[in-house]
Structure 1
């Protein structure tokens, strides 16, 4: 069985945690002790029903407020597929947590309250998921029971979301009416919405293509660590460890070392289980080369015929995450890209993207949760691809060197 990585998205109180709890409960993916624990907590709080959102809201502060703060990961499977679900927070101040959950997702579940429609945070999350390369978007129009399962209400929201996602460039969009609290159209088709002729949510999740595209790209192995055994039991050698970011490397392949541009051949590839003939994502391997070069952490191994960009200038879209201070074009930041860290300064702030209208507005800075086009100049060359081509090679974070806090997340355009 292959695996589908899912991230929830949407505004606070739209029912993301309840939907995930309902998926786990109705698909028989809960242990008896888990169900007993949330039943006991629900009873102690005086709830009239078992609050399935407690399955993902694990922090005390989350349970007290009835919201998600941190990213909660849950795992379950059906006879057809395995799933990893990242339940992300909806509050605007926790947008950075949502980005963390969506950065590795194949599919995003965007929830909208049928009574409220699409709000600013719904649009922001849909846009961020699209920018982060999430290939499939599913809008779950939740709380349909509170609008008497109105087809007109659903069709209005579907049209609005379809138009918006077409503007932002989303490719695969599905809209499903659900009631997470009651279980309508979550795992089983709902008798309350005979006008809906599409699949229930779980059936859609089981059939969405989740084939990775990284194998078909040019090989990319960022060097994380140089291994030089100091033991009489191990043959003296030098190898380079890292996690495959794209493509396939095989024993005997000619490789190019960046940024030095030295060429050599692979003589051996080792995995945790021993020698292997080839390496592909997401394998972590060590590679031995025919020649000895000055290769260190942050360098990259790739095929000579398909190389990434090597430059100290990069154009990117940045989502600013620092609540206490806006992006300052005059300040220097640290850039963490794959295994390399460099210092950088903002050369130009091109525009700020309006979440609702998608207009590019002139800007002199970026406040928290704002998205803008930024040109950076780094102190050392970085090797990168565009984010749409390769998530790993096209993504980076900005760090405030004075506090060591992550203040921005960027994607190379």
Structure 2
């Protein structure tokens, strides 16, 4: 069973061919601290003869210094490579090791058992086909055992080996084994595992690892290695619909343009009709290119470059998919989230949400419930702390194409990154869209923004006027539009008061309503820019994040932020509608500048101080800027 082939000496090519065509499995060890995970992996490497002589000599020497097994070799040191791990006798980082037998090749991830490093355990589990859940035969099922098992179930691992370890320390007791097995099966009955195989082992002594142990004749099942070689974990991704995130646009010369990536699910053939998302444009596969030559088809996990029969605007972050079986497209999702940071997660705080091939700003808007890992019961929560798991609602600033995690792992996972520290603070799995129309895709039209703008002999733009009430936004915008109209440009002005008479008449002035007010205006401004117009948007828009969202939606090249900077005292003097006076009397609540904050732009394209210039001069300056930047000519 151990890997030792005579072909290495007699026929190296036959040996390499044999290795290439062996089945392959990724697995993970998990469980609580000091359950013997590293020792088990060391035993598998040692018994499968995958350790070089110099490595073995080094481990024997280290065992005398920092080993925990007395005079015997400490096999855990084969995977506990960090100095801190060896000093403390615990695993901190994820260690990946390769080993092979006559029947199968393996990559095994040794993950930390300590609660502090649960995030590392989740990283190791994200690519595994099978999980070995280790339990100390003296201690039974612990909280961290339950937490790891729950995370394993969330990450889609359906095959579990329950290794009840250190049986030598409980006199190889069948009663103890059966008791722990019963406890674990009771706990995990609702976790959705396809199969759970319980095996009593002693990793330190090698009992029930490669062969059935004579010390536990009551165990009638396979040894650990026998089970690992036989269990069927064949991925079903090949039978799914075609999916490929675009990682790179391959453009080596003027005659070639291909889209490179790894097939995430399904398979694709030359001549297949595919759709590019989010644009929604369709084409057919012209060729499938690899370093070793063109292919007739590509399957799941193959890295390829696909060329299309039609010229379509596709870039990194887009997806190629089967045209008749498209993924969902949405910006609002239900997700399962594992929080990995010592600083708690609060609702509506902005983060960067990183998917396989794109990064999108977003926030967790609602925590539906968090899960008690001991009982698997759902509990209400306002915040999440380190290592807590919850069902949440995620809102993004733009649509993404996705499949549920249980359907396609790579299309249904994400991590959350802190905007300031760039630290990964959470990881999660996408479950389903919260939009009623997530299966509705943007309809690709033959007449696009560029065509419409060319017809109007101008460049589309969104002029976003922001400032306090009474600063002069509407007055200046009105003068700008008059000047542009006289030049023959095509314009439209969106004014805050006018819009609240119709589109946004249902909104009040709470912080939530103001955010929604600007969101709707951003969508309208984007549509007008798509029509090729120069759109003047006049709103206080007090929050930087909302203005940033508008810029991202409309496109940075089309967006001109104009800060009409007038101090509060001057705005109160003007007070053309008497609003400040009413707010001072308490008749108007949440008034910007008084009892609601205004976040001034940090880097606007134009910063105008009205105390120094007349509205006419400001309008002329804005028009000159637009002319200089090429917005007023095609």
2:430 is aligned with 1:412: yes
Give structure 1 regions of 4+ aligned residues with deviation exceeding 2 angstroms.
43-47
Q: Does residue 49 of the first structure (1) align with residue 67 of the second (2)?
A: no
1:388 aligns with 2:406: yes
Equivalent in the alignment of 1:14:
35
User: For residue 385 of structure 2, what is the aligned residue in structure 1?
Assistant: 367
Aligned 1:212-231 pairs, distance under 5 A: 212-230=235-253
Name the SS of the counterpart of 1:127 in structure 2: helix
Matches within 5 A, 1:60-139: 60-139=83-162
Q: Distance in 2 between matches of 1:174 and 1:112?
A: 13
Secondary structure of 1:155 counterpart: helix
Cα distance in 2 between the residues matched to 1:124 and 1:346: 22
**Structure ranking higher in helix proportion:** 2
Aligned with residue 376 of structure 1, among 394, 403, 407: 394
Q: Does 1:262 align with 2:281?
A: yes
Specify the SS of the correspondent of 2:274.
Answer: strand
Match of 2:61 in 1: 40
Query: Per residue, is there more strand in 1 or in 2?
Result: 1
Q: 1:80 to 1:330 in 2, by over 3 A?
A: same
Once the two structures are superposed, the pairs formed by residues 3-402 of structure 1 within 5 Å of their partners are: 3-45=24-66, 47-230=70-253, 236-323=255-342, 325-402=343-420
Q: CA deviation at 1:25?
A: 1.2
More displaced, 158-167 or 43-52? 43-52
- Mean Cα displacement is larger for which, 163-172 or 16-25? 163-172
Q: RMSD of the TM alignment (CA)?
A: 1.1
Q: Which deviations, in whole Å up to 9, do the C-alpha atoms of 1:268-327 show, x marking residues without a partner?
A: 11112221111112111111111112111111111111111100111100000011x111
The more displaced of 330-339 and 311-320 is 330-339
**Post-superposition shift, 1:68?**
0.7
How far apart are the structure 2 equivalents of 1:359 and 1:381? Answer: 32
Counterpart-to-counterpart distance in 1, 2:61 and 2:252: 54
Matches of 1:330 and 1:302 in 2, distance apart? 32
Cα shift at 1:49: 0.8
CA distance in 1, matches of 2:330, 2:256: 31
1:272 and 1:142 map into 2 onto residues whose CA distance is: 46
The structure with the larger Rg is 2
Q: 2:586 is matched with which residue? A: none
The aligned residue for residue 615 of structure 2 is none
Q: How many residue pairs end up in the alignment?
A: 408
Deviation at residue 35 of structure 1 after TM alignment: 1.2
Unaligned runs of 5+ in 2: 1-21, 432-634
Give the drift of 1:248. Answer: 0.5
Distance in 2 of aligned mates of 1:207 and 1:93: 34
Please give the secondary structure, in 1, of the residue aligned with 2:118.
helix
Contact 2:94/2:121, CA 8 A, preserved across alignment: yes
CA contact (8 A) 2:66 2:86 kept: no
Paired with 1:292 and 1:167, the residues of 2 have a C-alpha distance of: 49
Aligned residues of 2:278 and 2:318 also touching (Cα < 8 A): yes
What is the SS of the residue equivalent to 1:343? strand
Distance in 2 between residues matched to 1:410 and 1:45, nearest whole Å: 37
Offset at 1:227? 1.8
Structure 2 counterpart SS, 1:252: coil
**For the residues of structure 1 that align with 2:211 and 2:251, how far apart are their CA atoms?**
56
Q: CA deviation at 1:344?
A: 0.5
Q: Secondary structure at the match of 2:392?
A: strand
CA shift, 1:236, in A, is 1.5
Give TM-score scaled by structure 2 length. Answer: 0.64
Q: Give the Å deviation of 1:45.
A: 4.0
Tell me how far 1:26 sits from its aligned partner.
Answer: 1.6
Looking at structure 2, the residues matched to 138 and 25 of structure 1 have their Cα atoms a distance apart, in angstroms, of: 20
Alpha-carbon deviation of 1:210?
A: 2.3
- Alpha carbons 2:33, 2:112 under 8 Å: kept: yes
| Conserved? CA contact 2:158–2:192, under 8 Å | no
TM-score (structure 1 length as normaliser):
0.97
State the distance in 2 between where 1:255 and 1:72 align.
39
**Secondary structure of 2:189's aligned partner:** helix
Q: Return the alpha-carbon distance in structure 1 between the equivalents of residues 202 and 224 of structure 2.
A: 11
Aligned equivalents of 1:237 and 1:197: distance in 2?
61
Contact 1:19 1:53 in 2 (8 A): yes
For residue 31 of structure 1, report the CA deviation from its aligned partner.
1.6
Judge conservation of contact 1:3–1:210 (CA < 8 Å) in 2: no
Instruction: Say which SS state the counterpart of residue 288 (structure 2) adopts.
Output: strand
Matched position secondary structure for 1:157: helix
Q: Take 2:194 and 2:106, find their aligned partners in 1: how far apart are those partners? A: 22
Distance in 1 between residues matched to 2:363 and 2:157, nearest whole Å: 29
Deviation, 1:27, is 2.0
CA–CA separation in structure 1 for the residues paired with 2:367 and 2:378: 12
Deviates more, 1:20-29 or 1:174-183: 20-29
1:334-387 Cα distance to aligned partner (Å, 9 max, x none): 111121110002221100001011111000011010000111111111111111
* Larger RCO of the pair (alpha carbons < 8 Å, separation 6+): 1
Q: Structure 1 residues 295-304 or 9-18, which shifts more?
A: 295-304
